[in-house]
A and B are shown apart, each in its own frame.
Chain A
Amino acid sequence: MLVLTRKKNESIQIGKDIEIKVIGIEGDQVKIGIQAPKSVEIFRKEIYVDIEKQNSEAANVSRDILELLKSQEKS
C-alpha cells in the first residue's frame, strides 16, 4: 500500500479524475472529501465488506434448508 502524509486541505490526485482531500482532523477522526466521476462507486469499506459477507452467507444455503420454504407455505 502506498502511504502518503497529508495536512488539512491537502489532496491526493488519483488518475486524472479522482481527488481525495483531507477536509478536517479532529482527534482520531479524519474528514475526507472525495471528488470522482458519478460512475465511480464510493462506500465505507466496512459496509462493502458486510454486504460481501452477507451475500456469501446467503449463497451458502444448503439444499435442505430450501425445504423450509415449502413447509412455510403449508404452515
Chain B
Amino acid sequence: MEIMTKYFGKVSIEEGKIIEFPDGIPGFIEERRFVLLDLPANPAFQILQSVHNAHTAFVVTNPYFIYPDYTFKLDEAVQEQLQIREEKDVTVLSIVTLKQPFQQSTLNLKAPLIINPIRMLGKQYILNLDDYSSKAPISPAPLKKGVK
C-alpha cells in the first residue's frame, strides 16, 4: 500500500511492516498504526511514521548506542499485551527530540517504545521510576562510533 509520509513524500510499504500500537502514543492516542522507515543518510536513526497521518512522525534511535547501560523491567501486563515471550520478542527504541545544534537534541529514556517485531505490536512504555529522563542528552561521541 502507499502512504503519505512527513519526510519522504509518498512511500510504498508492505502491510506486514505495519506495527500496531493498540493504545496509540501519549499525545497521539488516535494513531494506532505506524511503520519504521530507514533514513538512508544515517543508519543510526529511523522514522516512526503514522500510517494514517502524514504529519505524525518521530525520529527514533536505538538508545543502547548512546546509553549502553540503559536498564528497566517490563511489567507483566505489557509483556502480555505485546505477546512477549522471550527477549528476542523485544525491540527497544527511543523517541528523539531533534534540536539545533544537534548536540542539544534529547532522547526520551523515560518512555521507551517497546516493539514486538514478531507480532508487530508496539507501545510507548512509561517507566514508573525516576532513574531516566524524558530529555536525556544525546551524546555525539557514540554517534560517530555508530555511524562510521
Within 8 A of A (CB), among B93-109: 95-102, 108
Select the stretch in B21-29, B62-70, B83-91, B114-122 that faces chain A. Answer: B21-29
What is the size category of the interface that chain B forms with chain A? 35 or more
B13 beta carbon closer than 8 Å to chain A: no
- Residues in B whose Cβ lies below 8 Å from that of A66: 7, 39, 59, 98
User: Is the CB–CB distance between B77 and A38 below 8 Å?
Assistant: yes
A38 and B97 alpha carbons, distance in the complex (Å): 31
Interface range on chain A (Cβ under 8 Å from partner): 20 to 34
Which of A5-13, A17-25, A26-34, A52-60 lies at the interface with chain B? A52-60
**Alpha-carbon distance A70/B44, docked complex (angstroms):** 11
Cβ B26 vs Cβ A52 within 8 A:
yes
| B76 pairs with A38, CB closer than 8 A | yes
State how many angstroms separate the Cβ of A64 from the closest Cβ of chain B: 9
Pair A58/B58 contact, Cβ less than 8 Å: yes
**Do B41 and A70 touch (CB < 8 A)?**
yes
Contact A48 B45 (CB under 8 A): no
Q: Is the CB of A69 within 8 A of B41?
A: yes
Closest to A61 in B: B98
Assess whether A54 is in contact with B111, with CB atoms less than 8 Å apart.
yes
Beyond A57-B97, A66-B39, A70-B41, 12 additional contacts (C-beta under 8 Å) are: A38-B76, A43-B128, A47-B128, A51-B108, A54-B135, A55-B27, A55-B108, A59-B56, A65-B98, A68-B98, A72-B147, A73-B44
8 contacts between A and B (CB under 8 A): A38-B77, A47-B126, A52-B27, A54-B97, A55-B95, A63-B7, A65-B100, A68-B100
- Residues on B lying within 8 angstroms of A by beta carbon are 6-7, 25-28, 39, 41-42, 44-45, 55-59, 75-77, 80-81, 95-102, 108, 110-111, 124, 126, 128, 134-135, 140, 143-144, 147
